[in-house]
Chain A
Amino acid sequence: MSTEHIVTSYEDELASLDNKIAQMGGLTEHLIADAFDALSKRDAELAVKVISDDDKIDQFELDIEEQAIAMIARRQPMALDLRQIMVAIKITSDLERIGDLGKNMAKRVLSIHSERHPAQLMHGMRSMQELALGQLKDVLDSYAERNTNKALAVWRGDEEIDAIYNSLFRELLTYMMEDPRNIGLCTHLLFCAKNLERIGDHTTNIAENVHYLVLGNPIQEERPKGDKTSQMLVNHDDQD
């Protein structure tokens, strides 16, 4: 940011907007971490906490949106300020979606917590979760620092998550085909993996917004698309 606004209260409001987004981002990070913990440890109690934590994130979203709208009405922001406020609205909505996805994972914990988890599967899930969480952390940092390079790195890094997701998808399919009794658990886990993949997508959205916020234009390159599951065929021939 360059010089300060002449109107200090405007400056304060913009700062408070950033501040709220930072808080909301921190909360979301925690929620995802907790949700995954609950999943891996089959901890129903933690899952319940996660579900209730999501309300806080929703509250943050409402709060930030309200402030942003009030600022648009009162300050009629231009240029950088306009972009900051617009981006704030978009980022909060992404964060809110991420929160929802975390909550969705936690809900699944409640329905599968009695079942046995194949350790190898959980290993893949864990590395995917760590990657997604790291991306989220990085993108929030890039926002706080207005760092486009970091944002671009996050944006490109999403491919990796997609790759893991692809292999997990295949793996889960294999499990299900091996033993139909696995289908219940695996479907849930599949959804959890999908959720993590979606979290990655929202993170790239945020990265795009950070880029736009700082430079005023969208990222020009073609984004590498890694999620190939929509084109993946279920090959029954393998079993025979």
Chain B
Amino acid sequence: MEVQSAVKDKVEQDKAMALKEETAKTAANTAAKTVKMSGKDVCVYYGEKQALFDVNLDILENSVTSLIGPSGCGKSTFLRCLNRMNDVIDICRVTGEITLEGDDIYDPSLDVVELRARVGMVFQKPNPFPKSIYDNVAYGPRIHGITADRTELDELVESSLQKAGLWNEVKDRVAESGTGLSGGQQQRLCIARAIATKPDVILMDEPCSALDPIATATIEELIDELRANYTIVIVTHSMQQAARVSQRTAFFHLGKIIEEGETTQIFTNPQDEKTQDYITGRFG
């Protein structure tokens, strides 16, 4: 009898311990992730046409948030709101509130140029400037005067290229044109260019859409590494990619956010019928 109760006690004890650990873990998870950027009731109009309807989304610090949804649902539009790239489009109008660390980025007193330096962007199609690889990466630092002298700039260029996983491939030819690289290399160059400006947030609009699986894997690996120091928002059409790289996922449909949550939850157990239909390929 004694043995039995001892066994029972032990089992009970283990259970309690496990439970404690579990709660501690989840607490740590949520506590570490503060909200970096946040959109409240964001509406976007292209002329008469409304492209986003009251979008609310929090973007957590040091995590990857992926935006998914069918073509034309407003993912790029929302992404471009986050660093005011929509300003470039004449007919585009944004209402609602978007904050970066609590400050409204559409505040008239805010300097757009500075905002974009803090919220960098990588585009769907690699768009290196017709300059040398070095100058491509040094572009941002030079504009913003990030480095004090040439050696510092050299170091920054090298470390950015290294972080983008491109250094080993181009270290002997940084003076050659950036447009002479392959598609995947160009995309990594664009990422290096974005990192070199030392942004807090990196926005990526379908960064792998033109890349082969290996180049895609390199970039996904890179995103995973960058997550430690940056906040990343990525638009992707690949469910698998969203599932692989992101911690949080938001599903857009017809300009609205239908569902938003932990990536694993969205991809194993979505709460909304539409989300389920979309990610399982049942849309229609």
* Residue ranges of A at the interface with B (Cβ–Cβ < 8 Å): 2-7, 10, 76-83, 215-217, 231
- On chain B, the residues within 8 Å of A4 by CB distance are 282, 284
Residues on B with beta carbons closer than 8 Å to the beta carbon of A77: 280
B109, chain A: closest CB distance, angstroms: 44
**Once the chains bind, are B281 and A216 in contact (CB under 8 Å)?**
no
Given A216-B268, A216-B269, check contact A79 B280 (CB 8 Å). Answer: yes
Q: A173–B268 Cα gap in the complex (Å)?
A: 48
User: 24 A-B Cβ contacts within 8 A?
Assistant: A2-B282, A3-B282, A3-B284, A4-B284, A5-B281, A5-B282, A6-B282, A6-B283, A6-B284, A7-B281, A76-B239, A76-B240, A78-B243, A78-B267, A78-B268, A78-B280, A79-B269, A79-B270, A79-B275, A80-B276, A80-B280, A81-B280, A83-B268, A216-B269
Known: A5-B282, A83-B269. 17 other contacts (CB 8 A): A2-B273, A2-B276, A2-B277, A2-B282, A3-B277, A3-B283, A3-B284, A4-B284, A6-B282, A6-B284, A7-B281, A78-B281, A79-B268, A79-B269, A80-B276, A82-B268, A231-B4
Q: Tell me, in angstroms, the Cα distance from A106 to B282 when the chains sit together.
A: 46
Hey, what's the 0/1 contact readout for B255-283 against A, CB within 8 Å counting as 1? 00000000000111110010111011111
Contacts of A217 in B (CB 8 A): 269
Q: How far is the CA of A34 from the CA of B237 in the complex (A)?
A: 53
Residue of A nearest to B8 (CB): A231
Task: Give complex CA distance A83, B268 in Å.
Answer: 7
* A-B interface pairs (CB < 8 A), number: 50
- CB-CB < 8 A to B268: which residues of A? 78-79, 82-83, 216
* Whole-angstrom CA separation of A4 from B240 in the bound complex: 20
CB nearest to B271 among chain A residues: A216
B213: shortest Cβ distance to chain A, in Å? 13
Instruction: Give every chain A residue within 8 A of B284 (Cβ-Cβ).
Output: 3-4, 6
CA distance A217 to B264 in the complex (A): 12
Complex Cα gap A2–B275 (Å)? 12
Chain B residues whose CB sits within 8 angstroms of the CB of A10 once the complex forms: 281
Residue in chain A with minimal CB distance to B276: A79
Contact A79 B279 (CB under 8 A): yes
Residues of B contacting A3 in the complex (Cβ-Cβ under 8 angstroms): 277, 282-284
Q: Determine how close the nearest CB of chain A comes to the CB of B96; give it in whole angstroms.
A: 30
A6–B267 alpha-carbon span in the complex (Å): 18
Min CB distance, B211 to chain A, in Å? 18
CA distance A26 to B240 in the complex (A): 36
Residues of B within 8 A of A215 (CB): 269
Contact with A along B240-251 (1 / 0, CB 8 A): 100100000000
Say whether, besides A2-B273, A76-B240, A231-B4, A82 and B281 are in contact (CB < 8 Å): no
Residues on A with C-beta less than 8 A from B270 are: 79
Shortest beta-carbon distance, A236 to chain B, in Å? 16
In angstroms, Cα B267 to Cα A98, docked, is 32
Q: Which chain B residue has the least Cβ–Cβ distance from A231? A: B4
CA distance A83 to B276 in the complex (A): 12
Find chain A residues with CB under 8 A from B280 CB.
Answer: 5, 77-81
**CB <8 Å contact, B4 and A79:** no
Most buried by A among B4, B267, B270, B281: B281
Q: Mark B59-73, 1 if CB is under 8 A from A, else 0.
A: 000000000000000
| B266 contact set on A, CB distance < 8 A | 79
With A and B bound together, what is the CA distance between A77 and B276 in angstroms? Answer: 11
User: What distance in Å separates the Cβ of B250 from its nearest Cβ neighbour in chain A?
Assistant: 16
Residues of B contacting A7 in the complex (Cβ-Cβ under 8 angstroms): 281
**Whose C-beta in chain A lies nearest to the C-beta of B266?**
A79
| Cβ contacts under 8 Å, B239 to chain A | 76, 78
Question: Of B4, B273, B279, which is within 8 A of A78 by CB?
Answer: B279
Closest 10 CB pairs of A and B: A216-B269, A78-B279, A3-B282, A81-B280, A79-B276, A5-B282, A78-B280, A79-B270, A78-B267, A79-B280
Nearest CB of B to A210, in Å? 15
Residues of B within 8 A of A5 (CB): 280-282
Q: How far is the CB of B224 from chain A (nearest CB, A)?
A: 19
Query: In the assembly, what is the distance between CA of A231 and CA of B269, in Å?
Result: 39
Taking the closest CB of chain B, its distance from the CB of A197, in whole angstroms, is: 20
A231 proximity list for chain B (CB < 8 A): 4
CA distance A78 to B270 in the complex (A): 10
Q: Which of A7, A79, A231 has the most CB of B within 10 A?
A: A79
CB closest residue in chain B, given A82: B268
Among A7, A82, A217, the most chain B Cβ lie within 10 Å of the Cβ of A82
Q: Which residues of A contact B279 (CB under 8 A)?
A: 78-79
